[in-house]
Structure formats: structure tokens, C-alpha cells
Amino acid sequence: MLGLSKKSDYALLALSYLATNGESRTVRTKEIAERFAIPAELLAKVMQRLAKMGWLASSPGPSGGYTLAVSDTSITVGDVVRAVDGGSALTHCMQSPEASGCEQWANCTIRGPLGFVNERVQDVLNHIPIRDIRERATPASAESELVKLVARDHSAPAAARRAGASRSRNEGDTP
Amino acid sequence: MLGLSKKSDYALLALSYLATNGESRTVRTKEIAERFAIPAELLAKVMQRLAKMGWLASSPGPSGGYTLAVSDTSITVGDVVRAVDGGSALTHCMQSPEASGCEQWANCTIRGPLGFVNERVQDVLNHIPIRDIRERATPASAESELVKLVARDHSAPAAARRAGASRSRNEGDTP
DNA sequence: CTAATGCCGACCAACGAGGTCGGAGACCTG
DNA sequence: CAGGTCTCCGACCTCGTTGGTCGGCATTAG
Ligand code: FES
Ligand code: FES
């Protein structure tokens, strides 16, 4: 349905909460869960994945919890979605270079243009750090960031994911 | 997973095929289905929805089929996704004004910023007409600012392609 | 030690996507 | 004009993924 899953939603929620309210304090999962009225166990699972990704520091035991381990500007919603939701591509074909298994690959005529659209969407997602996902104040900051994104050229950080649609010239591909 | 469904994929495929190869000819569903190796019945359902939306004209009986009923620049991929896939919002909360039923509405702190992100994504999708979803990315029209955005990143191949892509029909497409 | 917290795996339910079926109407053949 | 066949059309069903739950184990403050 072209919508990110609830897990991504919860992850964004928790990360924004940690970035706002967890300066150097350990925040328990239950606290976040009760704060946002979401199932605690599911959020726990999401938190685990975030911790495994290296973005959260965990401390077990009583008075334990999670702490944001990285800067709130180094993670973007694209990263979060990709980590917690497993990929963030418009179609399965352009998820990985050629591990698609898409039967329409040979005949597909929309792969190229759709790849461009996908790249645009990914760019939008990859340029919103979680710092901008906050209370819904900060309209100036977020807006300026996005305006810069839309209006100006973006250079390096988008080179991470290399869209496999680079060469669309070959007629006879080798499966 | 933040991916459009296969139905949307098929719809885009069929629409691009109709816009390219169905100038004023009735094209059968089976033709498109065999052309792209997709299940005919499922594509039939997609076609029905497209027809119901007013974008295709249907004629039953032998030598019947579908014809593109509107200009190929008046439908965007956003419209297609929204019609065939049922909404194209990042979260269910921002699908309709208040028919969300999202329990986190009261406490959600990311609704505002995420709405902005959603708007960006929708903008991307709403500015790509199906005319631009064709054999290759040849934004000959170059009317919308988004097409310019798309063309910027890959400006060299696009410019090279644009030289001889003014009115070229399908070339070398007979498997 | 005990209690509270994170960590991990398996498990289940529900919804939607993907796929399939038989029917109704219109063209073509004779 | 009647039958056959080809096409759309709508309802139906199956299956995979997502969302959600449970119990058990390791770890650490008090
Ligand atoms: S649909 Fe998979 S390659 Fe186009
Ligand atoms: S998650 Fe529904 S309003 Fe934010």
C-alpha cells in the first residue's frame, strides 16, 4: 500500500522520544510504550533491532534501559525504515542488484523510469535526520532542510545505495 | 515495506503499454498479459479498476478491449497507485482527515514532521505522468520541475538520450 | 538472594495482497 | 436470426506477511 509499517512508526516514535527526552538518561522500554500507548513487547523487539544496529546503547538490570548512542543527525528515516522494516524500495525488483526473481525483468519497460522515481523517494527519506522528527514544532528547521533538498544539489551522501539500474542498454542479459 | 504492490506495478505497466502502443486501437487484456508475462486475470481486475476510474474505455465482445480514454499526461503514478492500491500515504493516520482510528493520535509527536515527509513523497509521485513511464526515462516534456529534478542527477545520459528521443516510437522491441 | 530490566526465540491471529472462478454481455459466423 | 465464442465483469478463495503475544534466560542494582 506504499506505507511504512507500524514497526517503523514505532521506531521513529521511540527514536524521537530518546532524542528529545533522553539526553543522558537511560529510558526504559515500558516508559516509551506507556507514553505512546503501543504494545510494549513489540516495541521491545523494535528496540532490540535498533540496539543491534548500533544506534542505541542498552544497559540491563534494574534502572537499565536504552540511550541514544549516536548523534541525532546521523540517522535518517530512510535508515530507520530500512533497518527495522527490511528494505525500503518501491518494488522488489530494485531492492537488490539482481536477487529479484521478478519474472517481468526481461519485458519490463517501466523499470528504468520507476528506478528514477524510487531514487527520488529514497533521497527524500535519506535526507531527513531523526532530529527533524520531533514534536512538530521546528517548522523552520525541517522546512529549510527540505527546501535545500528540493532546491539545491545534493552531493555525497546518496552514493551509498547504488541503484542497479545503471546500465539499461544491454539487450541480452545473462541470468 | 514501503513498496507499491504488484497491482500498481501491473497498472503502470499496462498504462504505459497503452500509451505507447494503443494509439486508437483496442488492446485486449490477454495481449498485455502475455506481453509482460503476468497473470491475465489479475491484470483484468486491475484494468477493471482503471476503467472504473474513467481512464480506460472498455469495449466487450470479440475484437474488444481497452483504450486509453484520457491524455497520457493527465494521470500520474500517484493517481494510479492511489486508485489501484487504495491510498498512497506513508501511514494510515494521514490517509484520510480523521478516519484513522490510530490510537497514538493523541500522543503522537511525529505526526507533523512525518506528514511533511509524506507530502514530499506524494509530490514526487504526483508529478510523474504516465507519459514519462515509458521505455526509457526520456523527459522530453520537461515541464514539471520534478522531471528536471530527476534529470539532474543523471544529466549526461538523459541529455544524450534527449537528442534523438523527440518522437521515437518503440524500437527493437520484438522478442 | 531477589527483583527489575533487557534479550531472544518461538508461536499465533488477522488482515491484505495475489490469484482463481464462474457469469453476463457483445461481436462474429452461418 | 440463432448459436458460438470471445471479451469484460464481479464475487470468491488461498496464502504470505505483518502485527502482536508468550515464556524463558542472562544481567545487574539493591
Ligand atoms: S516489474 Fe520487476 S522489473 Fe519491472
Ligand atoms: S502514529 Fe498515528 S498519529 Fe502518529
How far does the centroid of ligand 1 lie from the alpha carbon of residue A103, in Å?
A: 7
Cell of A137: 514544532
| Sequence ranges of the domains in chain B | 6-88+129-138
Best mutation site among B95, B108, B109 for ligand 2 pocket (most ligand atoms within 8 Å of CB): B108
Question: Distance (Å, rounded) from C-alpha A169 to C-alpha B160?
Answer: 13
**A25: DSSP letter:** S
CATH fold of B6-88+129-138:
Arc Repressor Mutant, subunit A (1.10.10)
Pair B26, B59: CB distance under 8 Å = yes
Q: CB-based contact (8 Å) between A105 and chain B?
A: no
Cell of A112: 528504468
**Cα separation values, A14 from A17, B39, B97, Å:** 5, 42, 25
Burial of B160 (0-12, 13-18, 19+ CB in 10 A): exposed
Find and give the residue nearest to D30, measured CA to C1'.
A62
What does DSSP say about strands A56-59 and A65-68: parallel, antiparallel, or unpaired? antiparallel
Whether residue B161 is predicted with pLDDT greater than 80 in this model: the reply is no
Nearest CB neighbour to A3, from listed B92, B111, B135: B92
Please give the pLDDT value at position B32: 92
Cβ pair A104:B4 closer than 8 A: no
For A102-135, write each residue's pLDDT tens digit: 777 777 888 888 888 888 888 888 988 988 887 5
Please give the pLDDT value at position A140: 42
Average pLDDT over chain B, rounded to whole? 74
Which residue CA neighbors atom 1 of ligand 1 most closely?
Answer: A104
Residue type, B80: V
Pair A85, A5: CB distance under 8 Å = yes
Considering every ligand atom, which ligand is closest to the CA of A114?
1
Does A67 contact strand C, using a CB cutoff of 7 Å? Answer: no
Extended beta strands in chain A, E state: 56-59, 65-68
Set of chain A residues whose Cβ sits within 8 Å of the Cβ of B92: 3
Please give the pLDDT value at position B162: 32
**Cα separation values, B74 from B54, B119, B140, B152, Å:** 12, 20, 16, 23
**Nearest nucleotide (CA of A30 to C1'):** C5
- Nearest Cα to Cα of residue A103 among B38, B16, B133: B38
Residues in contact with B162: Cβ distance below 8 Å, sequence separation at least 6, in sequence order: B138, B139, B140
**B66: DSSP letter:** E
Higher pLDDT, A92 or A19: A19
Give chain C positions with protein CB within 7 A. 3-9, 16-22, 24-28
Find and give the residue nearest to D9, measured CA to C1'.
B48
Q: CB-based contact (8 Å) between A40 and chain B?
A: no
Query: What confidence category does residue B115 fall into, taking pLDDT thresholds of 50, 70 and 90?
Result: confident
- Residue B33: Cβ within 10 Å count: 20
The residue of chain B nearest to residue A147, with distances taken between CA atoms, is B120
Mean pLDDT of all residues in B132-152? 49
pTM for the complete prediction? 0.77
Whether residue A154 is predicted with pLDDT greater than 50 in this model: the reply is no
- Nearest Cα to Cα of residue B11 among B80, B67, B88, B106: B80
Question: Distance (Å, rounded) from C-alpha A163 to C-alpha B89?
Answer: 24
Pair A86, B1: CB distance under 8 Å = yes
- Nearest Cα to Cα of residue A15 among A59, A58, A57, A56: A56
The C-alpha R_g of chain B, in whole angstroms, comes to 18
Length of chain A: 175
Considering every ligand atom, which ligand is closest to the CA of B38?
1
Please give the pLDDT value at position A101: 62
